[in-house]
Amino acid sequence: MEDPTLDLDTVRRELLRARDALTAEMGALTLVIRDPDATIGFGKRVGEGTTEAITRIERVGAANALQSKLADVERALVKVDEGTYGICDRCSRMIPVARLEARPSSVLCAPCSAAR
């Protein structure tokens, strides 16, 4: 089931790097969510804190998006170890190499990913 054009060592390195980057991003974002005034407060109140609340919601949304990206990366790493990397988690078909190269953390084929 191994595709000769896909180098799993390279994939693993890329996934680990992506995981580090996402973890760092999450850490920074979580810090801001917990203590918004630490970095984004400018000491002035706009409206009744409405814009700040919106920013907060946006950040939580961004954190959720990061969390789901991170989950994919973690799952892809497990798949590399299991020997199931490149196989769709939902329909068990092979994920095209081009898709994996474009997005190494892909754990679903395009149709399944779109259906998610």
> Which of 92, 97, 91 shows the shortest CA–CA distance to 11?
97
For Zn ion, the binding residue among 31, 53, 91, 115 (CB under 5 A) is: 91
110 scored as a contact of Zn ion (CB under 5 A): no
Output 32 or 88, the one with its CB closest to Zn ion. Answer: 88
CA separation (Å) from 79 to 1, 6, 38, 88? 13, 14, 39, 10
Output 64 or 92, the one with its CB closest to Zn ion. Answer: 92
Applying CB under 5 A, the site for Zn ion has a residue count of 5
* Smallest distance, Zn ion to C-beta of residue 103, A: 14
- Name the amino acid, one letter, at 6: L
90 scored as a contact of Zn ion (CB under 5 A): yes
Measured distance CA(79)–CA(86) in Å, rounded: 8
Output 25 or 101, the one with its CB closest to Zn ion. Answer: 101
Measured distance CA(116)–CA(113) in Å, rounded: 5
Residue 87 CA, distance from chain mean position: 19
For Zn ion, the binding residue among 22, 88, 100, 107 (CB under 5 A) is: 88
45 scored as a contact of Zn ion (CB under 5 A): no
Binding stretches for Zn ion (CB under 5 A): 88, 90-91, 109, 112
